[in-house]
Amino acid sequence: MSSKESNREQGFQTLAVHKGYKPDPLTGSLALPIHQTSTFVFPSAETGGRRFAGEEEGYVYSRLGNPTVTALEEKIAALEKGEKALAFASGMAAISAVLLGLVRSGDHILCSRGLYGCTFGFLSILKDKFNVDYTLCDMRDKESILREIKENTKVIYIETPINPTMQIIDLALIGQIGKEHNVTTVVDNTFMSPYLQRPLEYGCDVVVHSATKYLGGHGDLVAGVAVGTKEFLEHIQFTTQKDIGGILAPFDAFLLVRGIKTLGVRMDRHSENAQKVAEFLESHPKVTNVMYPGLKSFPQHELAKRQMDGFGGLISFELKEGLEAGLNMMNKLELLKCAVSLGDVDSLIQHPASMTHSVVPHEERIKMGIADGLIRLSVGIENVEDIIYDLEQALS
Ligand code: 4LM
């Protein structure tokens, strides 16, 4: 490769395929080796001591780092345009390690009004057991964000689009408010993946993902990642990741690397299919309240166009006849599977009020915009005619 070539900034899909691993010089293995080991042998006792003291680079023990996991972390960091990434055993392990690394007793977290159920559950644990308060706030409105920031606010934590209402928050605004008020901004980018949205480019500080979803893409693993500055991620690595221990196993890192190689191709198909499915649902006489950022009727369509490179694969909607009719429709589906999770190549459909967001108290759920009859559809990469055919027969 010429030096000119090596200075070129490579495109997203090229990085998705190649970043983080070069064919092993010893064996020539094209695929990333799975370093299925718990510990690493030191060439000498002195080397081991220096590695523990942080005076010399090198692997020590797989809770502190593993070459297969490092390859994944380098790939994710490049795709999210961050300095460093860390991989975790689940999205919740990433989210909890990041938040625990940022707050102490007496602090306050300002959150989007609308969060994945277990993130809400973790905030409740922080509040009940560790005296870390939180406020849920409609962040579509700048004034309400400014009103809710307190002296002790240390973190602004958001999802955008929000699971499952698809409401969108202006990332540039959040990044700016964070800087002006010296508050760390954390964005859960699970619904978009770095192919469609990169919050760090808008001045936000930390990105977290449930890598179980679009990053993995095949419904065969549970994982999480966090991305940000080297300084912040090293702080997490050597505190709440190392000492709580929610690390990713090498085999799951290998599966994630394999999944990410096709991320851009999959996201294009998810977005293309979801647009057609959303238009079908919107035109169906039995369906109401279709929430998909790619629809012209979507209240934040213009903001979505501005900060997202595509509209993704998630749609929420209700049936005019309500909850019972919605559940009946879900039971009649043949191709689409009734399951939680999202972002898989398979289309998945679920009922947030009784499933993913059931831990959120009813009153709060309604304030979040999660009606009792709301249904969430994660559109897969099957032939779109077959997805629409299945929905049509289930609605008939
Ligand atoms: C679901 N979601 O919605 P792990 N952040 C977001 C999520 O949607 C999720 C997590 C974090 C669903 C799981 C059953 C926006 C999860 C948590 O499940 O811990 O990898 O991620 O269907």
Give the number of other Cβ atoms within 10 Å of residue 89's Cβ: 17
Tens digit of pLDDT at every position of the chain (396 positions):
444 556 789 999 999 999 999 998 999 999 999 999 999 999 999 999 999 999 999 999 999 999 999 999 999 999 999 999 999 999 999 999 999 999 999 999 999 999 999 999 999 999 999 999 999 999 999 999 999 999 999 999 999 999 999 999 999 999 999 999 999 999 999 999 999 999 999 999 999 999 999 999 999 999 999 999 999 999 999 999 999 999 999 999 999 999 999 999 999 999 999 999 999 999 999 999 999 999 999 999 999 999 999 999 999 999 999 999 999 999 999 999 999 999 999 999 999 999 999 999 999 999 999 999 999 999 999 999 999 999 999 999
* Cβ(212) – ligand 1 distance below 6 Å: yes
Q: Looking up tokens 């799951």, which residue turns up? A: 252
Give the position, in ligand 1's atom list, of the atom nearest the Cα of 191.
15
Distance CA 143, CA 10 (A): 40
* Cβ(160) – ligand 1 distance below 6 Å: no
Give the position, in ligand 1's atom list, of the atom nearest the Cα of 222.
20
pLDDT at position 7: 76
The secondary structure of the chain, three-state, reads CCHHHHHCCCCHHHHHHHCCCCCCCCCCCCCCCCCCCCECCCCCHHHHHHHHCCCCCCCCECCCCCHHHHHHHHHHHHHHCCCEEEEECCHHHHHHHHHHHHCCCCCEEEEECCCCHHHHHHHHHHHHHHCCEEEEECCCCHHHHHHHCCCCEEEEEEECCCCCCCCCCCHHHHHHHHHHCCCEEEEECCCCHHHHCCHHHHCCCEEEEECCCCCCCCCCCCCEEEEECHHHHHHHHHHHHHHHCCECCHHHHHHHHHHHCCHHHHHHHHHHHHHHHHHHHHHCCCEEEEECCCCCCCCCHHHHHHHCCCCCCEEEEEECCCHHHHHHHHHHCCCCEECCCCCCCCCEEECCCCCCCCCCCHHHHHHHCCCCCCEEEECCCCCHHHHHHHHHHHHC
CB of 185 within 8 A of CB of 206?
Answer: yes
Q: Whose CA is nearest to atom 21 of ligand 1?
A: 91
CB of 224 within 8 A of CB of 92?
Answer: yes
**Ligand 1 center to residue 356 CA distance, Å?**
8
**Ligand 1 center to residue 75 CA distance, Å?**
21
Rounded (10°) CA dihedral 176, 181, 186, 191 = -40
Side by side, which strands form the sheet with 153-159? 84-88, 224-228, 206-210, 184-188, 153-159, 108-112, 133-137
pTM summary value = 0.97
Among 119, 163, 349, residue to substitute to test ligand 1 (most atoms within 8 Å of Cβ): 163
* Closest by Cα among 259, 80, 71 to 186: 80
Among 210, 347, 358, residue to substitute to test ligand 1 (most atoms within 8 Å of Cβ): 210
**Ligand 1 center to residue 373 CA distance, Å?**
20
**Ligand 1 center to residue 395 CA distance, Å?**
28
* Closest by Cα among 215, 151, 213, 163 to 187: 163
Give the position, in ligand 1's atom list, of the atom nearest the Cα of 94.
19
**Ligand 1 center to residue 116 CA distance, Å?**
6
Q: Whose CA is nearest to atom 3 of ligand 1?
A: 341
Rounded (10°) CA dihedral 32, 37, 39, 42 = -60
Give the number of other Cβ atoms within 10 Å of residue 186's Cβ: 26
* Cβ(317) – ligand 1 distance below 6 Å: no
* Cβ(90) – ligand 1 distance below 6 Å: yes
Q: Looking up tokens 């998630």, which residue turns up? A: 314
* Cβ(341) – ligand 1 distance below 6 Å: yes
The whole-angstrom distance between residue 26's C-alpha and the CA centroid of its chain comes to 35
Q: What are phi and psi of 60, to 5 degrees?
A: -125, -55
- Give the residue numbers marked as catalytic: 63, 116, 188, 213
**Ligand 1 center to residue 188 CA distance, Å?**
10
**Ligand 1 center to residue 1 CA distance, Å?**
41
pLDDT at position 8: 85
The whole-angstrom distance between residue 171's C-alpha and the CA centroid of its chain comes to 15
* Cβ(356) – ligand 1 distance below 6 Å: yes
* Cβ(189) – ligand 1 distance below 6 Å: no
